[in-house]
Amino acid sequence: MSTHRLRFKLNGADRDLEVPADRLLIDLLREDCGATGTKLGCGIGVCGACSVLVDGELVSACLVPAVFVDATAIVTVEGLARDGALTPLQDSFIREGGFQCGICTPGQLIAATALLGEHPRPTRDEVRSWMMGNICRCTGYYGIERAIDRAAGAR
């Protein structure tokens, strides 16, 4: 097995580490970087629990080889709040009850952050088609939708 030196930014901080060729991004984040906010759900790219941003693009950390993130900038749920101040989206999730058990929340927040980055005032259809792949096992979808609407200034 070959090993590879990766230099990347995680939530704004420089990281420099060596990983085996078969490392996945989810394990790089949780095991090697100790950033356990990102959760492993289905492990096959379906459920959205491990949603992260790589150079601003929303991807499933369980499907991305770690070697692909060399020289990129990654944002996980830990990177949303600045100096303890929640983003308007995080605040809206709290106000609107955008979660129940919370396991899918890091992925929901990251997916919705990417949505609002691309569509600051998304329509209902845009919210639904964008968030469609982020599954909430508690079926708290209305709260999640309201939270996104609120963060977008729609309520």
Ligand X SMILES: Cc1cc2nc3c(=O)[nH]c(=O)nc-3n(C[C@H](O)[C@H](O)[C@H](O)COP(=O)(O)OP(=O)(O)OC[C@H]3O[C@@H](n4cnc5c(N)ncnc54)[C@H](O)[C@@H]3O)c2cc1C
At 133, list the tokens: 């792949």
Minimal CA–CA distance to 133: which of 55, 48, 7? 48
Annotate each residue in 46-75 with x if it binds ligand X (CB under 6 A) or - if it does not, as one string: x-----------------------------
Closest residue to ligand X, judged by C-beta, is 45
Taking CB under 8 A as the rule, does residue 64 contact another protein? yes
User: Rounded to an integer, what distance in angstroms lies between the CA atom of residue 74 and that of residue 57?
Assistant: 9
| One residue of 7, 12, 22, 119 binding another protein per CB under 8 A | 22
Phi, psi of 82 (to 5 degrees): -110, 125
As measured in angstroms, the least distance from the Cβ of 63 to ligand X is 6
> What 3-state DSSP class applies to 63?
coil
- The one-character DSSP state at 121 is S
| One residue of 37, 41, 48, 122 binding another protein per CB under 8 A | 48
As measured in angstroms, the least distance from the Cβ of 149 to ligand X is 27
Q: How many residues bind ligand X (CB under 6 A)?
A: 3
As measured in angstroms, the least distance from the Cβ of 80 to ligand X is 25
Residues 6+ apart with CB under 8 A from 10: 29, 33, 35, 74, 76, 79
Diameter over CA atoms, the chain: 53
Contact residues for ligand X, defined by CB under 6 A: 44-46
Contact residues for another protein, defined by CB under 8 A: 1-2, 4, 21-22, 24, 43-46, 48, 51, 57-60, 63-65, 67-68, 111, 114, 129-130, 132-133
